[in-house]
Amino acid sequence: MKGVVGVLALQGDFREHKEALKRLGIEAKEVRKREHIQDIKALIVPGGESTTIGKLARDYGIEEEVRKRVEEGSLAVFGTCAGAIWMAKEILGYPEQPRLGVLDVAVERNAFGRQVESFQEELEIKGLGPFRGVFIRAPVFRRLGEGVEVLAELNGLPVLVRQGRLLASAFHPELTEDPRVHHYFLELADL
Ligand code: GLN
Protein backbone atom coordinates (compact mmCIF):
# COMPACT_ATOMS: atom_id res chain seq x y z
CA MET A 1 0.00 0.00 0.00
CA LYS A 2 1.29 3.41 -0.96
CA GLY A 3 -1.11 5.36 1.25
CA VAL A 4 -3.99 5.28 3.70
CA VAL A 5 -7.61 4.76 2.63
CA GLY A 6 -10.27 6.55 4.67
CA VAL A 7 -13.98 5.77 4.97
CA LEU A 8 -16.26 8.65 5.93
CA ALA A 9 -17.86 7.38 9.14
CA LEU A 10 -20.44 10.04 10.00
CA GLN A 11 -23.57 8.10 9.01
CA GLY A 12 -24.54 5.24 6.71
CA ASP A 13 -23.02 1.88 5.85
CA PHE A 14 -19.35 2.71 6.39
CA ARG A 15 -18.74 -0.59 8.24
CA GLU A 16 -19.68 -2.53 5.10
CA HIS A 17 -17.13 -0.51 3.12
CA LYS A 18 -14.48 -1.31 5.72
CA GLU A 19 -15.36 -4.99 5.37
CA ALA A 20 -15.12 -4.79 1.59
CA LEU A 21 -11.65 -3.26 1.90
CA LYS A 22 -10.65 -5.95 4.41
CA ARG A 23 -11.39 -8.54 1.73
CA LEU A 24 -8.67 -6.80 -0.25
CA GLY A 25 -6.32 -6.89 2.74
CA ILE A 26 -6.77 -3.22 3.59
CA GLU A 27 -7.42 -1.75 7.03
CA ALA A 28 -9.24 1.52 6.34
CA LYS A 29 -9.23 4.52 8.64
CA GLU A 30 -12.55 5.93 9.88
CA VAL A 31 -12.86 9.62 9.03
CA ARG A 32 -14.94 11.55 11.55
CA LYS A 33 -13.12 14.86 11.78
CA ARG A 34 -11.35 17.29 9.51
CA GLU A 35 -7.90 16.25 10.87
CA HIS A 36 -8.52 12.66 9.78
CA ILE A 37 -8.33 13.72 6.12
CA GLN A 38 -4.74 14.90 6.31
CA ASP A 39 -2.86 11.63 5.86
CA ILE A 40 -5.26 9.79 3.56
CA LYS A 41 -4.88 9.38 -0.22
CA ALA A 42 -8.33 7.99 -0.95
CA LEU A 43 -11.74 8.47 0.64
CA ILE A 44 -14.86 6.32 0.39
CA VAL A 45 -18.21 7.98 1.15
CA PRO A 46 -20.89 5.43 2.07
CA GLY A 47 -24.55 5.02 1.30
CA GLY A 48 -27.02 6.27 3.87
CA GLU A 49 -28.86 9.55 3.98
CA SER A 50 -27.23 12.22 1.85
CA THR A 51 -28.84 15.14 3.72
CA THR A 52 -27.39 13.91 7.05
CA ILE A 53 -23.96 13.09 5.63
CA GLY A 54 -23.89 16.48 3.90
CA LYS A 55 -24.90 18.43 6.97
CA LEU A 56 -22.42 16.71 9.29
CA ALA A 57 -19.58 16.92 6.77
CA ARG A 58 -20.20 20.65 6.42
CA ASP A 59 -20.50 21.26 10.19
CA TYR A 60 -17.24 19.39 10.90
CA GLY A 61 -15.24 21.14 8.17
CA ILE A 62 -14.76 17.86 6.33
CA GLU A 63 -16.52 19.12 3.20
CA GLU A 64 -14.12 22.05 2.87
CA GLU A 65 -11.01 19.97 3.50
CA VAL A 66 -12.03 17.23 1.07
CA ARG A 67 -12.83 19.81 -1.63
CA LYS A 68 -9.43 21.43 -1.18
CA ARG A 69 -7.62 18.09 -1.46
CA VAL A 70 -9.65 17.07 -4.52
CA GLU A 71 -8.94 20.39 -6.22
CA GLU A 72 -5.21 19.97 -5.44
CA GLY A 73 -5.40 16.51 -7.04
CA SER A 74 -4.13 14.79 -3.89
CA LEU A 75 -7.28 12.85 -2.93
CA ALA A 76 -9.32 10.27 -4.83
CA VAL A 77 -12.98 9.91 -3.79
CA PHE A 78 -15.49 7.08 -4.29
CA GLY A 79 -19.12 7.68 -3.28
CA THR A 80 -21.85 5.05 -3.23
CA CYS A 81 -25.50 6.12 -3.42
CA ALA A 82 -25.85 8.87 -0.77
CA GLY A 83 -22.07 9.31 -1.08
CA ALA A 84 -22.45 9.81 -4.83
CA ILE A 85 -25.21 12.36 -4.25
CA TRP A 86 -22.91 14.25 -1.87
CA MET A 87 -20.19 14.41 -4.54
CA ALA A 88 -22.45 15.85 -7.28
CA LYS A 89 -22.34 19.46 -8.45
CA GLU A 90 -26.11 19.56 -8.78
CA ILE A 91 -28.83 17.73 -6.81
CA LEU A 92 -32.06 18.08 -8.78
CA GLY A 93 -34.86 19.58 -6.72
CA TYR A 94 -32.62 20.17 -3.67
CA PRO A 95 -30.52 23.26 -4.50
CA GLU A 96 -29.80 23.98 -0.83
CA GLN A 97 -28.69 20.48 0.19
CA PRO A 98 -25.09 20.58 1.49
CA ARG A 99 -22.69 18.78 -0.87
CA LEU A 100 -19.08 18.45 -1.88
CA GLY A 101 -20.00 19.46 -5.45
CA VAL A 102 -16.93 18.23 -7.35
CA LEU A 103 -18.44 15.61 -9.67
CA ASP A 104 -19.74 17.28 -12.81
CA VAL A 105 -23.19 15.68 -12.89
CA ALA A 106 -26.75 16.48 -11.92
CA VAL A 107 -28.04 13.72 -9.73
CA GLU A 108 -31.66 12.79 -9.17
CA ARG A 109 -32.39 11.33 -5.74
CA ASN A 110 -34.70 8.32 -5.37
CA ALA A 111 -34.87 8.20 -9.14
CA PHE A 112 -36.46 4.76 -9.38
CA GLY A 113 -39.47 5.92 -7.38
CA ARG A 114 -39.99 5.75 -3.63
CA GLN A 115 -42.11 2.63 -4.03
CA VAL A 116 -39.11 0.80 -5.46
CA GLU A 117 -37.26 0.75 -2.16
CA SER A 118 -34.68 -1.77 -3.28
CA PHE A 119 -33.87 -4.21 -6.03
CA GLN A 120 -30.96 -6.10 -7.52
CA GLU A 121 -29.96 -6.14 -11.14
CA GLU A 122 -27.11 -7.68 -13.08
CA LEU A 123 -24.94 -4.89 -14.53
CA GLU A 124 -22.20 -4.90 -17.11
CA ILE A 125 -19.30 -2.76 -15.90
CA LYS A 126 -16.82 -1.50 -18.46
CA GLY A 127 -13.50 -3.24 -17.90
CA LEU A 128 -14.86 -5.45 -15.10
CA GLY A 129 -17.68 -7.44 -16.71
CA PRO A 130 -20.90 -8.63 -15.04
CA PHE A 131 -21.57 -7.29 -11.54
CA ARG A 132 -24.55 -7.63 -9.20
CA GLY A 133 -25.93 -4.15 -8.56
CA VAL A 134 -27.75 -3.66 -5.25
CA PHE A 135 -29.98 -0.59 -5.48
CA ILE A 136 -31.62 0.99 -2.40
CA ARG A 137 -33.63 4.17 -2.98
CA ALA A 138 -31.03 4.78 -5.64
CA PRO A 139 -30.22 7.97 -7.53
CA VAL A 140 -29.29 8.27 -11.20
CA PHE A 141 -26.87 10.61 -12.90
CA ARG A 142 -28.82 12.85 -15.28
CA ARG A 143 -26.57 15.47 -16.83
CA LEU A 144 -22.96 14.48 -17.35
CA GLY A 145 -20.16 16.99 -17.85
CA GLU A 146 -17.54 16.50 -20.55
CA GLY A 147 -14.99 14.80 -18.34
CA VAL A 148 -17.41 12.22 -16.99
CA GLU A 149 -17.20 8.66 -18.31
CA VAL A 150 -20.07 6.19 -17.92
CA LEU A 151 -18.86 2.78 -16.69
CA ALA A 152 -22.26 1.10 -16.23
CA GLU A 153 -25.88 1.76 -17.12
CA LEU A 154 -29.23 0.39 -16.06
CA ASN A 155 -32.14 0.75 -18.49
CA GLY A 156 -30.03 3.26 -20.41
CA LEU A 157 -29.38 5.41 -17.33
CA PRO A 158 -25.84 5.90 -15.97
CA VAL A 159 -25.33 4.19 -12.60
CA LEU A 160 -21.52 4.13 -12.36
CA VAL A 161 -19.46 7.09 -13.49
CA ARG A 162 -15.89 8.24 -13.31
CA GLN A 163 -14.31 11.67 -13.60
CA GLY A 164 -10.53 11.47 -13.27
CA ARG A 165 -9.88 10.21 -9.75
CA LEU A 166 -13.53 10.47 -8.71
CA LEU A 167 -15.81 7.43 -8.86
CA ALA A 168 -19.53 7.40 -8.05
CA SER A 169 -22.08 4.60 -8.06
CA ALA A 170 -25.85 4.66 -7.69
CA PHE A 171 -25.68 1.09 -6.33
CA HIS A 172 -23.90 -0.50 -3.35
CA PRO A 173 -20.88 -2.68 -4.21
CA GLU A 174 -20.15 -2.76 -0.45
CA LEU A 175 -23.29 -4.88 0.02
CA THR A 176 -21.99 -7.71 -2.17
CA GLU A 177 -19.08 -10.02 -1.46
CA ASP A 178 -17.47 -8.96 -4.71
CA PRO A 179 -14.62 -6.48 -4.13
CA ARG A 180 -13.87 -5.66 -7.78
CA VAL A 181 -15.33 -2.14 -7.77
CA HIS A 182 -13.35 -1.29 -4.60
CA HIS A 183 -10.27 -2.75 -6.23
CA TYR A 184 -10.89 -0.65 -9.33
CA PHE A 185 -11.14 2.47 -7.13
CA LEU A 186 -7.85 1.70 -5.37
CA GLU A 187 -6.19 1.40 -8.76
CA LEU A 188 -7.51 4.72 -9.94
CA ALA A 189 -6.39 6.23 -6.62
CA ASP A 190 -2.93 4.83 -7.42
CA LEU A 191 -2.81 2.78 -4.21
N1 GLN B 1 -32.04 8.14 -1.16
C2 GLN B 1 -30.95 8.34 -0.24
C3 GLN B 1 -30.50 9.78 -0.24
O4 GLN B 1 -30.97 10.57 -1.00
C5 GLN B 1 -29.76 7.49 -0.63
C6 GLN B 1 -30.05 6.05 -0.33
C7 GLN B 1 -28.84 5.21 -0.14
O8 GLN B 1 -27.73 5.69 0.08
N9 GLN B 1 -29.05 3.94 -0.17
O10 GLN B 1 -29.64 10.12 0.54
Ligand 1 centroid to Cα of residue 131, in Å, is 20
Count of structural domains within the chain: 1
Could you give the residue numbers annotated as active site?
81, 172, 174
**Which atom of ligand 1 is nearest to 13's Cα?**
8
pLDDT digits (tens, 9 = 90+) for 30-86: 999 999 999 999 999 999 999 999 999 999 999 999 999 999 999 999 999 999 999
- pTM comes to 0.97
- Of 160, 140, 163, 43, the residue nearest 90 (C-alpha): 140
Using CB distances shorter than 6 Å, the residues near ligand 1 are 47-50, 81-82, 85, 109-110, 136-137
Burial letters 50-63, b for 16+ CB under 10 A, else e: bbebbbbbeebebb
CA 89 to chain CA centroid, Å, is 13
Number of residues in the chain: 191
pLDDT tens-digit map of 98-123: 999 999 999 999 998 766 689 999 99
Local confidence band at 2 (pLDDT 50, 70, 90 cut-offs): confident
Strands ordered across the beta sheet of 40-45: 29-31, 4-8, 40-45, 76-80, 166-169, 157-163, 149-154
Q: How many CB atoms lie within 10 A of CB 188?
A: 16
Query: What is the span of the domain harbouring residue 123?
Result: 4-188
CA of 4 to the centre of ligand 1 (A): 26
Predicted local confidence at residue 1, as pLDDT: 65
Question: Which value, to the nearest 10 degrees, does the dihedral of the CA atoms of residues 108, 112, 115, 121 take?
Answer: -140
Tell me how far apart the alpha carbons of residues 153 and 131 are, in angstroms, rounded to a whole number: 11
Residue 36, domain CATH: 3.40.50.880
Q: Which helix (H) or strand (E) holds 45?
A: strand 40-45
Note the pLDDT tens digit of each residue in 9-28.
Answer: 999 999 999 999 999 999 99
Q: What's the pLDDT score for residue 115?
A: 64
CB 139 within 8 A of CB 84: yes
